Amino acid sequence: MGLLLLLTSSLLSSYFHAGRVVNAQRSFTIREVTLSIEPSTDVTRDTNVTLRCQAIVSSSGQEPLSREYTIYKDGSIIYNKISSSSEDLLYFLPQTRVFNSGKYKCKINIDGKQVNSSSQKLTVTGLSQPLLRLNKGVVSEGEEITAKCSAPGETGSIFFYFYEDSKEILERQVSHDQAEVKFHLRNVGIHKIHCDYTVLVTPYSFKSEKSNNATVTVKELSITPVLEIFPSHKIYEGDRLTISCTITNSRYNFENVQLYLSQGVRLLSSGDSKVNHSMVALAQDPGEFECRLEIGNVVKVDKKNVSVTELFSVPTLTMSPAEVFQRDSMTLTCRSERYATERLRKEELIYSINPPESYLLQKDTGVFRGKALPYDFNYTCTAKAKGIDKNSTTLTVRPKVSVSIPRIRVEGRAVLGRPFIIRCQSDIGSLPINYTLWKGYDVVDSFIVKSPSDKADFSVTIFNPGEISQFMCQATNKPEGSLLGKRLNATVIVPLSDPTMTVIPNVAEISEGDDLILICRVDGTPPVHFNWYRRGTEQPLFNRTSNMTHSNHQIPSLSKTDSGAYYCEAVNYANNVVRSQEVVIEVRMALWKKVTAGAVSLLGGVVLVVVVVVVMVLCRSKKGKREAASELSVKPSSPKSDDSLTVNLTHDTEVYNADKVKVDKAAVSVWSKRPPESDDDEESSIESNEPDVEYTEVVHPQPVDPDRAPLRKGTDTVYSELQNSPHSAADPHDYGSVEYAELNSEQPDTSHFSPEINNYQDLPEPVD
């Protein structure tokens, strides 16, 4: 027991002592690792090369460290060694070859610490010359040859190449320095064989020199194929051909003999000793026949070309006329242009049209007539003679569509005196279509529509609205016949002119409290947009669009502030703005105010009351007369009087419309200009013999309409007054007369455009 304890104590002491030594040895550092290639990095083949891996290590211990060396080539491990020596590691490459070329490096590992050297590239140049050996120098056709090519001393991945008369015939890849192949030489004669090789060292390759040349003689076999064709001269379509394929020296016993008879790519027959075939000669078939003999790898061929004379040519199918319209008559002609007169008579050729449902009738040999179908159709024809059928190429008939009656319309708007576009267009019809625009009996212009994007547009200008109905379109898309459309029916926009503005009542009779009506009238095509202005204001007082050439604006209950110059502007689809001349309005003091002031100063209180009553009666009479301007009917005091006078003036929902005034059985429009007064007032006074004033009371219900400017609301009593007085005695302030004034009846157009009426998109479309 004591001995056991002693041994245990001794072992533990040794263990701990050794541990202290190891720990002391582990105190080190690897300062540098280098790899060198000796004698050089560029060497020739068979040179002995040494790779030296040197490590500089600093250590605190006395005992040597255990070192693990690893050598790499192109990233792969090629050598590994563990050593406790501090000497350099040497790795030998004896008699280097190209395969040894590459990048090398070394790595050292000490107790887990690893350090790599930098890479060094070794280049070995020079390959050994390849050696070629053949098993035979003389062979028969189809006999196999064995060839061996070697690269003495070379290692690695090697590719061997074999050549026949400098043409590569085989390739082999091996991992050693020799390759063996077997092959056949097809052609009879002397052939030269050689080889070479390539060593692959990724990513580079190295090519060797050529090997020695080996000569091989190939002897011909005594067996050959024979091709015979009957008849052998002047063969026509329809003739029966007899073809045979045989071999010579058939007395010799050859194994695996096979014969093949073919025409072009079509195999006619096959056998082992003799092959026969019979067929009808056709000109369109390939004329080359081949007899092929195969014995193992030996192939022998006999070929012959046969010329077949055409009995008749392939028919052609034509159509006349060249272009046809739907359901128009057409003629299809089927003809073979050539035929062998020594073998065939023209009458022996029979023609037919396909398909049968084409509904064409044969009118002569190869001539077929009928109607063109209303759709595209494919036709072919067949020519037959002596059992030979030949079909023409397909003829596609695409019948054209006749043009329909052209429609005529105005593109945009037709404005009098300005160019506008008239378009002619047919709903159906094959292109091209020729359109002609007529005006009466004269041609304006023509246009050919060649593509769907083309438009037959004609620019015209007219100066009379009646000219628009003289235009017509004519269309045609065939050599004969054309269609004439209807006359053009379109609205002609007449630009506005002659703007006038009339006021009611007369400017000389306007007083406070009166209702003023401004009537604007123009010549031109409605709809018309009207604007009323007062001088000094940019914005219109009122605007309205009317389907007539006149409209009105009412200013109720005038005051002194309403005095000023008024005018109107108008525009229609011709976009020309016209402006009337100004009418100056002066609003006078009311009559009852003047009378009241005078009565107070002269008569006093009592007289004042009487005067006021009288004035109010007079004012009521005057106001009644002005309301009668809206709707007035005056009858003579005596139905039998020769001087009868009737005045009717109605105010509709949109414009104050004054109808005609009948005086002494002559119609006079209230819109007419007032006749100039006579220069001789006195003579006019003497000759005037008008009847006395007569009042007629008419009761009219007044409808409520927001678009009109009524003179009075509700049911009013309208007084009509006719007063006979000489012109010389006329008083502008005489409230016992009614005057209708039309001012500025002849005004020039202006180019003034208000911002509000520059472009009227809200105008309704004009009515044709």
Q: How many residues does the chain have?
A: 768
What does the alpha-carbon distance between residue 269 and residue 259 come to, in Å, rounded to a whole number?
9
pLDDT at 306 exceeding the cut of 70: yes
Query: What does R_g of the chain's alpha carbons equal in angstroms?
Result: 63
Span 507-520, mean pLDDT? 90
Q: CA angle, corner 196, sides to 191 and 202, nearest 5?
A: 155
What's CA 452's distance to the chain center, in Å?
Answer: 15
The answer to whether 576 and 496 have CB atoms below 8 angstroms apart is: yes
Whole-number pLDDT of residue 253 = 63
The rounded percent of the chain whose pLDDT value lies above 70 is: 73
The ranges of the chain annotated as CATH 2.60.40.10 are 16-124, 128-219, 225-309, 316-397, 407-493
Range among 19-28, 86-95, 733-742 with highest mean pLDDT value: 86-95
Name residues whose C-beta falls within 8 Å of residue 19's C-beta, 6 or more positions apart in sequence: none
What does the alpha-carbon distance between residue 105 and residue 96 come to, in Å, rounded to a whole number?
17
What does the alpha-carbon distance between residue 69 and residue 57 come to, in Å, rounded to a whole number?
14
Q: Classify residue 719 by burial, with Cβ atoms within 10 Å: 0-12, 13-18, 19+.
A: buried
CB atoms under 10 Å from CB of 232, counted, come to 10
Whole-number pLDDT of residue 644 = 33
Task: Give pLDDT tens digits for 317-344.
Answer: 999 998 899 999 999 999 999 999 998 9
Q: Taken in order 201, 207, 210, 216, is the CA torsion positive or negative?
A: positive
Which amino acid is located at 154 in the chain?
E
Residue 715 vs residue 612, higher pLDDT: 612
In this prediction, residue 601 has a pLDDT band, given cuts at 50, 70 and 90, of low
Cross-strand partners of 313: none
Which amino acid is located at 495 in the chain?
P
The answer to whether 702 and 713 have CB atoms below 8 angstroms apart is: yes
Least confident of 186-195, 237-246, 264-273, 740-749: 740-749
Name residues whose C-beta falls within 8 Å of residue 680's C-beta, 6 or more positions apart in sequence: none
- Parallel, antiparallel, or unpaired for β 67-73 and 102-110? antiparallel
Q: Which residues of 383-399 are buried (b: 16+ CB within 10 A; e: fewer)?
A: bebeebebebeebebeb
Task: Give pLDDT tens digits for 558-567.
Answer: 999 999 999 9
Which amino acid is located at 546 in the chain?
S
The answer to whether 626 and 717 have CB atoms below 8 angstroms apart is: no
In this prediction, residue 252 has a pLDDT band, given cuts at 50, 70 and 90, of low
Which CATH number does the domain 16-124 belong to among 3.30.2270.10, 2.60.40.10, 3.40.50.720, 1.10.10.10?
Answer: 2.60.40.10
pLDDT at 491 exceeding the cut of 80: yes
pLDDT at 737 exceeding the cut of 70: no
The architecture of the domain spanning 407-493 is Sandwich (2.60)
Task: Say which DSSP state 683 is in.
Answer: H
pLDDT at 676 exceeding the cut of 50: no
Name residues whose C-beta falls within 8 Å of residue 717's C-beta, 6 or more positions apart in sequence: 624, 697, 698, 699
Structure tokens at 447: 């246009």
Whole-number pLDDT of residue 334 = 96
pLDDT at 448 exceeding the cut of 60: yes
Residue 509 vs residue 447, higher pLDDT: 447
Q: What is the full DSSP assignment across 582-642?
A: PEEE-PBPPHHHHHHHHHHHHTHHHHHHHHHHHHHHHHHHHHHHHHTTTS-----SSTT-S
Please state the three-class secondary structure of 446-460 as a single string.
Answer: EEEECCCCCCEEEEE
Alpha-carbon dihedral 634, 639, 644, 645, rounded to 10 degrees = 10
What does the alpha-carbon distance between residue 492 and residue 418 come to, in Å, rounded to a whole number?
11
Task: Give pLDDT tens digits for 400-411.
Answer: 999 999 999 999
Name residues whose C-beta falls within 8 Å of residue 290's C-beta, 6 or more positions apart in sequence: 227, 260, 261, 262, 263, 301, 302, 303
pLDDT at 653 exceeding the cut of 50: no
Could you tell me what percentage of the chain is helix, strand and coil, using 3-state DSSP and rounding each to the nearest 5?
10, 45, 40
pLDDT at 107 exceeding the cut of 90: yes
What CATH number should be reported for the domain whose range is 128-219? 2.60.40.10
What does the alpha-carbon distance between residue 489 and residue 471 come to, in Å, rounded to a whole number?
9
Phi, psi of 576 (to 5 degrees): -105, 125
Whole-number pLDDT of residue 607 = 54
Whole-number pLDDT of residue 188 = 86
Whole-number pLDDT of residue 617 = 62
The answer to whether 643 and 664 have CB atoms below 8 angstroms apart is: yes
Structure tokens at 137: 């120098």
The answer to whether 295 and 249 have CB atoms below 8 angstroms apart is: no
Task: Give pLDDT tens digits for 160-183.
Answer: 999 999 899 999 999 889 999 999
pLDDT at 736 exceeding the cut of 70: no
Least confident of 480-484, 667-671, 673-677, 703-707: 667-671
Q: Taken in order 597, 602, 605, 606, is the CA torsion positive or negative?
A: negative
Span 664-676, mean pLDDT? 34
Phi, psi of 577 (to 5 degrees): -95, 125
The answer to whether 558 and 515 have CB atoms below 8 angstroms apart is: yes
pLDDT at 732 exceeding the cut of 70: no
Span 207-225, mean pLDDT? 90
Structure tokens at 226: 């024979």
Cross-strand partners of 58: 29
CB atoms under 10 Å from CB of 634, counted, come to 19
In this prediction, residue 641 has a pLDDT band, given cuts at 50, 70 and 90, of very low
Span 138-155, mean pLDDT? 90
- SS3 state of residue 326: coil
Please state the three-class secondary structure of 362-428 as a single string.
Answer: EEECCEEEEECCCCCEEEEEEEEECCEEEECCCEEECCECCCCCCEEEEECCEECCCCEEEEEECCC
Q: Classify residue 684 by burial, with Cβ atoms within 10 Å: 0-12, 13-18, 19+.
A: middle
What does the alpha-carbon distance between residue 531 and residue 539 come to, in Å, rounded to a whole number?
9
Give the CA distances from residue 638 to residues 88, 632, 634, 644, 724, in Å, rounded to whole numbers and listed in that order: 159, 18, 12, 8, 16
Which amino acid is located at 455 in the chain?
K
Residue that the structure tokens 């002119």 belong to: 497
Whole-number pLDDT of residue 450 = 94
The answer to whether 398 and 330 have CB atoms below 8 angstroms apart is: no
Q: Which CATH class is domain 225-309?
A: mainly beta
Domain covering 316-397, topology: Immunoglobulin-like (2.60.40)
- Taking alpha carbons only, the member of 55, 66, 42, 44 closest to residue 107 is 55
In this prediction, residue 615 has a pLDDT band, given cuts at 50, 70 and 90, of low
Please state the three-class secondary structure of 186-246 as a single string.
Answer: CCCEEEEEEEEEEEEECCEEEECCCCCCEEEEEECCCCCEEEEEECCCCEECCCEEEEEEE
Name the average pLDDT for the chain: 78
What does the alpha-carbon distance between residue 302 and residue 512 come to, in Å, rounded to a whole number?
132
The rounded percent of the chain whose pLDDT value lies above 90 is: 50
What does the alpha-carbon distance between residue 672 and residue 742 come to, in Å, rounded to a whole number?
7
Whole-number pLDDT of residue 383 = 95
Give the CA distances from residue 202 to residues 175, 199, 206, in Å, rounded to whole numbers and listed in that order: 14, 10, 10
What does the alpha-carbon distance between residue 476 and residue 441 come to, in Å, rounded to a whole number?
18
Whole-number pLDDT of residue 719 = 32
Structure tokens at 225: 């194929």
Please state the three-class secondary structure of 11-36 as a single string.
Answer: HHHHHHHHHHHHHHHCCEEEEEEEEE
The answer to whether 649 and 505 have CB atoms below 8 angstroms apart is: no
What does the alpha-carbon distance between residue 300 and residue 257 come to, in Å, rounded to a whole number?
11
